[in-house]
């Protein structure tokens, strides 16, 4: 036996690719909360065909963004390899924000949370490990304020990341300015050799840091379709 695959299988594969490509376009335009029937209609197939291939929104999101998310993990590996942790951290966060600015779907995915997306869970875990490593090394090197936690950083980045699409619509790369100000708040207060005494320490932060579980709940609360599962 041999020859081409059966027509039904070829049509199924074609529809899956078409739905994935169309979903990428719609998510980029409208975010991850875009109605799935819009995706099906634009792809020229029925809702039943979409749900046959992707029974849940999470399954479709995972298919669409798996490759894109791997780029963030690559940036994290490069950042961890930097000898100077502050340099690694700043380069990593600039790379992350450039990704957030690329399209709204990626921004939604990386600044919130959506249950059941395996590739997202992997990139969130890698991101957490990357930031933790860079903060600890930066604190040991005296470049990062000693009371800063990974959850402090990730929450601040998620909050700033949510406004990136609006900033981008006003001016390209407008996010770089608030990111620079945010990074300045992460820095340790440097010693001033020309002063008779060291500068005063930064004031204590007014509330305890979030735990990893609390941060996860916050991001899940911001995520698309947080009130329904489909």
CATH number for 65-190+207-222 (one of 1.10.10.10, 1.10.357.10, 3.30.1370.100, 3.90.25.10): it is: 1.10.357.10
CATH number for 10-55 (one of 2.60.40, 1.10.10, 1.10.760, 3.30.2320): it is: 1.10.10
Distance CA 89, CA 133 (A): 10
Q: What is the pLDDT of residues 110-151, one digit of tens each?
A: 888 788 888 888 888 999 999 999 999 999 999 999 999 999
SS3 content of the chain, % helix, strand, coil (to 5): 65, 0, 30
- Show pLDDT as tens, one digit a residue, over the chain (230 residues): 455 556 778 889 999 999 999 999 999 888 888 999 999 999 999 999 999 999 999 999 999 988 878 889 999 999 999 999 999 999 999 999 998 888 888 888 888 878 888 888 888 899 999 999 999 999 999 999 999 999 999 999 999 998 888 888 888 888 999 999 999 999 997 655 554 555 555 566 666 777 888 877 777 776 665 544 44
pLDDT at 213: 84
Distance CA 134, CA 74 (A): 15
Domain with CATH 1.10.357.10 in the chain: 65-190+207-222
Domain with CATH 1.10.10 in the chain: 10-55
Closest CA to 146 of 201, 192, 79: 201
Q: Which residues contact 174 (CB under 8 A, 6 or more apart)?
A: 167, 168
């Amino acid at each position: 036996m041999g020859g081409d695959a059966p027509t039904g299988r070829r049509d199924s594969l074609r529809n899956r690719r078409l739905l994935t490509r169309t979903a990428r376009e719609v998510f980029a335009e409208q975010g991850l909360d875009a109605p799935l029937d819009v995706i099906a209609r634009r792809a020229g197939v029925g809702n039943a065909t979409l749900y046959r291939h992707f029974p849940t929104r999470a399954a479709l999101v995972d298919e669409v963004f798996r490759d894109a998310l791997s780029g963030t993990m690559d940036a994290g590996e490069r950042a961890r390899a930097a000898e100077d942790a502050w340099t690694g951290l700043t380069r990593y966060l600039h790379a992350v924000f450039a990704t957030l600015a690329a399209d709204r779907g990626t921004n939604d995915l990386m600044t919130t949370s959506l249950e059941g997306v395996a590739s997202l869970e992997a990139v969130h875990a890698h991101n957490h490990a990357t930031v933790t490593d860079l903060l600890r090394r930066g604190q040991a090197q005296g470049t990062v304020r000693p009371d800063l936690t990974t959850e402090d950083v990730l929450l601040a980045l998620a909050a700033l990341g949510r406004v990136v699409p609006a900033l981008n619509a006003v001016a390209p790369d407008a996010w770089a300015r608030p990111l620079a100000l945010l990074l300045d708040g992460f820095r340790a207060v440097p010693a001033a050799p020309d002063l008779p005494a060291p500068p005063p320490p930064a004031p204590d932060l007014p509330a305890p840091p979030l735990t990893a579980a609390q941060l996860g709940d916050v991001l899940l609360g911001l995520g698309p379709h947080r009130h329904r599962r489909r």
